[in-house]
Amino acid sequence: MRILVTGLGGFIGSSLGPALAARGHEVRREGMEGCDALVHLANIAHARAERETLWKVNVEGTAALAEAAAKAGVRRFLYMSSAKAAAPDDDYGRAKLAAEQAISKHGAVILRPPLVYGPRVKANFLALMHAISRGWPLPLASIENQRSLVFVGNLCDAIIACLESPAAAGRTFGVTDGAPVSTPALCRAIGTALGRSTRLFPFPPALLPSERLTGSLVVDDAELRALGWRPPFSMEEGLKRTAAWYLNR
């Protein structure tokens, strides 16, 4: 297939491009004429962005792109949404859900990943790796939560499965590495991948400022697995590859 990918130079796109090429697909960065599919990754990912900006880019921009793709004869439009669209509690999640609704008439495939990690990861996950790598004590031992994660290599494989499967058209899928993990378990797994000891101490979770560290977010990927998809990488392998990138930056 000829596949146009927006955001090809970003965190997910930089892994998706080579993965698509390895499957024999032709990857394009611009120009949708003659394309069989379009993967839309280029959205504002920062939850603290202003509502007006989120709506202009993530909702109106996505709707306009889907409309243009339909007029150009692009048969498969895949939108990278977010697990936060399932039960929005902020403007970012609400914008993602609104974008999904705006493109539903085009039979788009929608993926709702939780936190994505892997080589070139940024933001909170990278900060957590910094802290664990440097041996900083972290007040996370008392947290009892469950959070789904997805390695970027697994996410790219799921994207390809949804592009190639006729049964994926017009459907919304969660995508994960598998079973969710607690924040303390994730920290220990990151420490193991980095070859560092993880120093956690108890502290009242209610006094910690970040809901992303203390709260739960479990994603159901049963419908995607019903298509026959299975994540090619375990979380352990995903963290190992992420750690290798981190240590060799």
Write phi, then psi, for 4 (nearest 5 degrees). -90, 130
Burial class for 114, CB neighbours closer than 10 Å (0-12, 13-18, 19+): buried
Give yes or no for a contact between 5 and 39, defined as CB atoms under 8 angstroms apart: yes
Question: Rounded CA gap, 141 and 173, in Å?
Answer: 32
Please tell me whether residue 6 adopts helix, strand or coil conformation: strand
Residue 117 known to be catalytic: no
Query: What is the distance in angstroms between the CA of the first residue and the CA of the last residue of the chain?
Result: 33
Query: What's 25's DSSP letter?
Result: P
**Residue 28 to residues 6, 31, 37, 147: CA-CA distances in angstroms?**
9, 7, 10, 34
Give yes or no for a contact between 4 and 35, defined as CB atoms under 8 angstroms apart: yes
Write phi, then psi, for 24 (nearest 5 degrees). 90, 10
Active-site residue, from 79, 92, 117, 246: 92
Give yes or no for a contact between 154 and 233, defined as CB atoms under 8 angstroms apart: yes
Just list the catalytic residues: 92
